[in-house]
Amino acid sequence: MRNHYVDAHLHLQDSSFAAITEELIERAGAVGVRQMFCNAVAESDWNAVAELAAGTSGIIPFFGIHPWFCQEAAPGWQERLATVAASFQNRPVGIGETGLDKLRAVNFETQRRTFIQHLDLAAELSLPVSVHCVRAWGPLVDTLRTMEAAGRLPKLLIHSFSGSTETMKRLVDFGCLISFSAMIARDDKQKLRRTVARTPLSALMLETDAPYQKNQNLKDVDSVTADLNEPVAVAALYRYTAALMQVEVHDLSSQILKNAAIFTNQTADR
């Protein structure tokens, strides 16, 4: 029985893929990657993400402004984001990548304000959100608690989760999906692997974050480049995670397909 996979976060529009994008998509499809959540990082790449999604039905576009670039956001970006999202009214679409990051020297209040603006827009449009969080788990939880109290908390996916088991549980209580990257296979991530094993299957997603976060520990995947990650690697991540969680790969992939469908409004709400 063939398994089907979702790559819950990646950046196919990245300039490092410019000459090989079609090959990457074909290679991913050949191993059973059915959907790829392609995330913009700034308004300057929204058109590239839109064009990729328009050309391939399995690419689900997410449009947003990454916290690293939020200070560069031009006035009126929310209206322009709503317009580009509306162009996919008959297709799954989301908002992201957005979030909070205390590792980068970007004004944190600007990050927080921009993040809340993304969440408000997503709530207004009933769209899912892909969330970046680095060393800002407390402020993230506080923000989500405030949005929930106001009845304006959209569906959220926390991409490349790196927090504690306690934080994972708090986010699951908010209805978040928790997406893990190949980071979990690193030799120094034993604690994170314990968190993966405790994550409910109904809240679990897996991602490559391609072209970033390539992990040589997933040794059964060959790459077309020496340095870059690619979506085909998500199949190996599924096998690794299934073994970690002591479940069958088919059962894991079936559940993640359901999670993805609910998250992107392709089926009934959670």
pLDDT grade for 218, boundaries at 50, 70 and 90: confident
CB 205 within 8 A of CB 172: no
The tens digit of pLDDT for each residue in 12-71 reads 999 999 999 999 999 999 999 999 999 999 999 999 999 999 999 999 999 999 999 999
The string of DSSP letters for 184-228 reads GGSTT-HHHHHHHHHS-GGGEEE---TTS---TTSTT---SSSS-
The three-state DSSP-derived secondary structure of 96-154 is: EEEEEECCCCCCHHHHHHHHHHHHHHHHHHCCCEEEEEECCHHHHHHHHHHHHHCCCCC
Q: What is the pLDDT of residue 268?
A: 46
For 180-186, what is the mean pLDDT? 96
Q: Write down all domains in the chain, each with its CATH number in brackets.
A: 5-263 (3.20.20.140)
Q: What is the pLDDT of residue 269?
A: 47
Q: What is the pLDDT of residue 227?
A: 79
